[in-house]
Chains A and B, each alone.
Chain A
Amino acid sequence: MDEGASQQNALTRRDMIRRTAAVLTGTIAATSALATLAPTRAWALELQTLSQHDGETILAFGQTLYPHATLPTAVYAMLVKDLDVAAKDPATASLLRDGTASLDSAAGGNFAAATPAARLAAAKAIEKTAYFAKVRSTCITSLYNNELAFAHFGYQGASWPKGGYIHRGFNDLTWLPNPPAAASPTVGVL
């Protein structure tokens, strides 16, 4: 293979990537609780099945359905990732594509670019659809069942590897008086 042919191949591959791969990207704010958790603050999600526009629409839809002011976009990208996997099923892919169209239409053109108020109105307009149900129910597991969300909301996850909370604050609340020992025996007298 000569050098020219190799360049040609490289160009072709780049061209292929440009044509087929949709990629969502973002940056976790330095102030976020998650900044120390991820290896880098920049994130990218390459989509396998969904188009760039489908991905951006679903991400915006997730933010509309479950708005948390400071939850990094990286967590909402989990929703896109999970639905991208689900879209390997042709019926689901079609449901999601049609859903993008219905959200765009309800938002007067481009849901992802619409104002928060317009997005909310569009979401309400399609609330009874199968697409809405699919994305909403996926949000519950995609947004709240991952390590980034645990860190953001302050949930500590599995405690067994750390010996439980017997010596790690199970009763460290100080803004109310301690109940008497008759109601709640102290640790260590057992």
Chain B
Amino acid sequence: MAAIAHNDDTAVVIIGSGAGGGTLANELCQKGIKVVLLEAGKRESSQTFIQDEWESFNQLAWLDKRTTSGNWRVATDFPNLPAWTCKTVGGTTTHWAGASLRLQEHEFKALTNYGKLEGANLADWPIGLAELAPYYAKAEHKMGVTRTNGNPGLPGNNNFKVLYNGATKLGYTKCSTGHMAINSKFRDHRSSCLQMGFCFQGCKSGAKWSTLYTEIPLAEETGHLDLRPQSHVVQIETNAAGKATAVVYVDAAGKTQRQKARIVAVAANSIETPRLLLNSASNQFPDGLANSSGQVGRNYMRHLTASVYAVFDEPVHMWRGTTMAGIIQDEAALKPSRGFVGGYEMETISLGLPFMAAFINPGAWGSDFTAALDGYTNMAGMWIVGEDMPRETNRVTLNTAVKDQFGQPVPNVHYDDHANDLAMRAHAFQQGGNVYRAVGAKSVIETPPYPSTHNLGTARMSNDPKLGVVNKHGQTHDVKNLFISDGSQFTTSAAENPTLTIVTLAIRQADYIASAMSKQTV
């Protein structure tokens, strides 16, 4: 591992070590480029992960204070926990379930294909599937995605058996154990899946891809990476020429440090990324860094989510095996006849007893609640992941009335469901329930959204500097040596779990940065 001096201004400084930042760091290091990787959280490992939901949550989750507003139910149920993301080396790739789906061609052209929707800020991505396809292939290879590169599919668990039988009875045809970045055989020095469950708590066998034990150690082996855990970035500094020059962070000892930079890449997830840009306002950038469009923090998307659980006469033991064990993709197609644009995926999910109690119907009590938990062993479950509408008014702003442990304004996350979101959720609840009723569900429980795991769109991609924060390479329009490398770049959310696309964009961005550095254009 490299030790890069604080006043060395030749390195790329990356903020955040998850899917975007961790991947970008390794890709750059492989090209011989020096990288300082700043991560706010501690470094854990498969050995230190804990198969206890609350303890693990306290070990991995981002728990710094946040506030919420808007009509989404999360603001009522979890007013200070709008998102379930991670503060740890590897970021939210420690917690993700592993679903690795390419975005669909039509989703890159949401405005063209869906038309203008009142109250939605739809736009086309400046890139399409054809341009991304070779990078998707690289990402799938890197991550060992099942049903690509000759990797077999994973064996389905009990929860998948219920999903599959219900799906086929309903006439769905696109149901399988899907594309997962979980080893179905020994690969890349990592074991195959032991069907432990607890995918959300950090994979103790390392079968699930995470930058923590793939990209980051590979980058360390090059000798070009200086990883600094427990380094919480509070500001990006710029010079008179409008270029990013340094990053100010608070280290593990609580000491403020300044790391000079040739290029800065922000990959702090879609709440902290815009917050950092807004907190980096200066005389030169009074509305926040890279915010001449006014779009920083806007168009916050979190996917249309919901869950359907069902109780049967016979046991399921859904917690055994991979959490996201299989998928139904029939509803992911564009079919406006359903009464909404966009589509949704249906993916098995399971929560342990402690989190089932916390999330099945937050705030509820009484005999309906306890009847559902009494059926816990006989329960099957699915998560609904659908495209939600970007709205200018759904946004991350600074809440100057509330400060964090470093004295900085905390982010406020405002979200109002769009009518399209509500129509899609109603449809998905109906279809999800039908899947389970088709195989004899005694009762069906419609569970509202959890704190957001898919946070997207707050520094959106557009060719037009007036309409977006970054160009098609994630480079900010306003500050040429400042890049956004996480899901904040997404122009629209599409229906698919975003990690594969974040990794894909990071691989592509690394090529662009390396080329720009060698040509001295950045």
A residues whose Cβ falls under 8 Å from a Cβ of B: 65-68, 120, 123, 136, 139-141, 143-145, 149-150, 153-160, 163-166, 168-173, 175-179, 182-187, 189-190
Contacts and interface: CB of A to CB of B under 8 A. Distances in A.
Nearest to A184: B156
Contacts, number: 153
Given A66-B369, A182-B176, A184-B161, 5 more contacts: A68-B373, A139-B365, A144-B354, A163-B194, A184-B154
B interface residue count range (under 10 / 10 to 19 / 20 to 34 / 35 or more): 35 or more
B480 interface: no
A187 B193 CA distance: 10
A100 to B, nearest CB: 18
Contacts of A186: 155
A150 B196 contact: no
Contacts of A145: 53-54, 353-354, 357
10 contacts: A136-B365, A143-B357, A145-B53, A145-B54, A153-B373, A154-B317, A157-B52, A183-B326, A184-B155, A184-B161
B193 A166 contact: yes
Contacts of B156: 171, 179, 183-184
A159 B326 contact: no
Determine the main DSSP class of B at the interface with A: loop
A172 B160 CA distance: 11
A189 B54 CA distance: 36
B164 interface: yes
Contact of B51 (A159, A168, A182): A159
Contacts of A157: 51-52, 352
Contacts of B319: 155-156
Determine the main DSSP class of A at the interface with B: loop
B194 A184 contact: no
B334 interface: no
A170 B160 CA distance: 10
B326 A160 contact: no
Contacts of A187: 155
B297 interface: no
A33 to B, nearest CB: 11
Contact of B370 (A68, A164, A177, A179): A68
B377 A65 contact: no
A179 B161 contact: yes
Nearest to A173: B158
